[in-house]
Amino acid sequence: MSEKYHHKSLKIRLTTKLPQWAEAGMYLLRQQPDIEVFEANSDVDEKSIDVVLHFGCYSEAEWQKHGSGRLGFWFFRFGGQDIDEITVARQAAAAGVALEASLWVKFVDNSCGCVYQSFGQVRQFNYWCGAIHILEKAAYFPERVLCQYRKKGELATFEPEQVVISTASKGQLLLAESKAIWRRNIERFFDYQWFIVAGEWHPTLIPNPQQKKWLLNPPSDSFWADPFILEKEERIWLLFEVLPFATQRGYLAAVELFADGSYSSPQNVMVADYHLSYPFFIEWEGEIYLLPEAGESKEISLWKCEEFPGRWTKAATFLTDVNFADATAIQHEGLWWLFVTQAITEKISLNEELYLYYADSLFGPWTAHPENPVKSDARNARCAGNLFYDGGVLYRPSQDCSTDYGKATVLNRIDKLDKETFRETPVTRLEADWSKDCLSTHTLSRSQNYWAIDGLRLLPRWTKWFNWIMKT
């Protein structure tokens, strides 16, 4: 069902006192022009109300009391059910599935439809945290739906993705939570270490990491992650993040890959007084540009290579004052496109919402896509490497962060990309089962002839102690 937009002020009535988790989203909604928000006890003509907004699951009592409004009675569902978010978060954590939240409308004719759906990251060690994060994000759903309603002229419902979370008994929930706590305590004796494999590209969408030519094992005091392959003057270079465990501040490095499967010692690419990662680069008009993740700076900046690999100068600033991760750009059909996950507030995960920008020039200015965020789904929002064409089709690697950060890599086929619409479809994925000690895999990059992938493993902390003793 859809309702046409009439060019007038929209009036929204709340059903109850605004819960704390909804305050930020409602503040943003109140800032929109031609939108009036009335409290539950406000004296207002009921016939003039457009939306009755209930910040909670469906309530027959509230619907009977406040009615539907011209655009219906709006309410939330979690895990596809009319139950509270804490229960759903606990069940999702036990089942190991993404935490779903959606906004629904009940119209005057008693029909119901979904107008927004999102999938968030479940916290298996702390389901309360997962519930809080999904609520913080859900608070923005009404503002997003109303913005699209005003732009497109109608409120359209859609068939949401079905969510199935098996109802666990109290005993099953306690068992799952005990296992999660036990695993977390065991892992305190280990470091999470990312490592890298690379190989020659064969005609397949996703390479087989077991057919690697290079295995890059970092020293025991750090990890190497986010690999990007660069073919330069008949030489093969690998750019990646180095994170020393002692400082927890990453920097960018490069090694040269040799034909016999060996590689050079790392050389610094970029070091800053804030964390750096994800050394995504662009080759354009004979120059090399770097677009590193520098989330602490809250600035997406482009750097031009003056002398490879270690001398770069800032060429442009794309965006400022943003909470972002893993910005990735590509030139497509005459425009430059920038894909980046963002968080409206620091309480919302950087793994869940994909934003899109476009520009005529690589150097900007950049225009926000009208559908932003174009995706709200921890299962495949965050970028995981450079976009690439295969058989004339554009693909975007992404991370599955639904149950853990970078748990798997998902390859999405881009079906529609223009100034008005973005659509993509997940077509295949790379699980972290290509090595017996691999827990996660969250980067897939490719050049014309080569590929690189990273994996996560547990490194016993006594390895460092042993190495220290041997050195002394």
pLDDT tens-digit readout, 230-265: 999 999 999 999 999 999 999 999 999 999 999 999
Query: Average of pLDDT values for 2-23?
Result: 80
Q: What is the pLDDT of residue 421?
A: 96
Query: Average of pLDDT values for 374-400?
Result: 97
Query: Average of pLDDT values for 392-414?
Result: 96
pLDDT tens-digit readout, 115-144: 999 999 987 767 778 888 899 999 999 999
CB distance 26 to 62 below 8 Å = no
Q: What is the pLDDT of residue 180?
A: 62
Give me 86's structure tokens.
Answer: 């804490």
Question: Burial level of 49, CB count in 10 A (0-12/13-18/19+)?
Answer: buried
| Confidence tier at 85 by pLDDT (50, 70, 90) | confident
| Confidence tier at 472 by pLDDT (50, 70, 90) | low
Query: Average of pLDDT values for 75-83?
Result: 92
| Confidence tier at 6 by pLDDT (50, 70, 90) | low
High-pLDDT (> 70) share of the chain, %: 91
| Confidence tier at 12 by pLDDT (50, 70, 90) | very high
Query: Average of pLDDT values for 374-380?
Result: 98
Q: Which domains does the chain have, with CATH numbers?
A: 2-184 (3.40.50), 189-471 (2.115.10.20)
Q: What is the pLDDT of residue 45?
A: 81
pLDDT tens-digit readout, 297-323: 999 999 999 999 999 999 999 999 999
Query: Average of pLDDT values for 78-90?
Result: 87
Q: Which amino acid type is present at position 109?
A: D
Q: What is the pLDDT of residue 457?
A: 95
HEC letters along the chain: CEEECCCCCEEEEECCCCCHHHHHHHHHHHCCCCEEEECCCCCCCHHHCCEEECCCCCCHHHHHHHCCCCCCEEEEEECCECCCHHHHHHHHHHHCCCEEEEEEEECCCCCEEEEEEEEECCCCCCHHHHHHHHHHHHCCHHHHHHHHHHHHCEEECECCCCCCCCCCCHHHHHHHHHHHHHHHHHHCCEEEEEEEEEEECCCCCCCCHHHCCEEECCCCCEEEEEEEEEEECCEEEEEEEEEECCCCCCEEEEEEECCCCCECCCEEEECCCCCCEEEEEEEECCEEEEEEECHHHCEEEEEEEEECCCEEEEEEEEEECCCEEEEEEEEECCEEEEEEEECCCCCCCCCCEEEEEEECCCCCCCEECCCCCCEEECCCCCECCCCEEECCEEEEEEEECCCCCCCEEEEEEEEEECCCCEEEEEEEEECCCCCCCCCECCCEEECCCEEEEEEEEEEECHHHHHHHHHHC
Q: What is the pLDDT of residue 96?
A: 82
Q: Check pLDDT > 90 for residue 92.
A: no
pLDDT tens-digit readout, 26-63: 999 999 888 999 998 888 887 889 999 999 999 898 89
Query: Average of pLDDT values for 201-207?
Result: 91
| Confidence tier at 353 by pLDDT (50, 70, 90) | very high
CB distance 13 to 38 below 8 Å = yes
422 or 178: whose pLDDT is higher?
422
| Confidence tier at 450 by pLDDT (50, 70, 90) | very high
Q: Check pLDDT > 90 for residue 410.
A: yes
Q: Check pLDDT > 80 for residue 276.
A: yes
Q: Check pLDDT > 60 for residue 5.
A: no
Alpha-carbon distance 101 to 117, whole Å?
Answer: 6
103 or 172: whose pLDDT is higher?
103
416 or 437: whose pLDDT is higher?
416
pLDDT tens-digit readout, 157-181: 999 999 877 666 666 666 666 666 6
The pLDDT mean for the chain works out to: 91
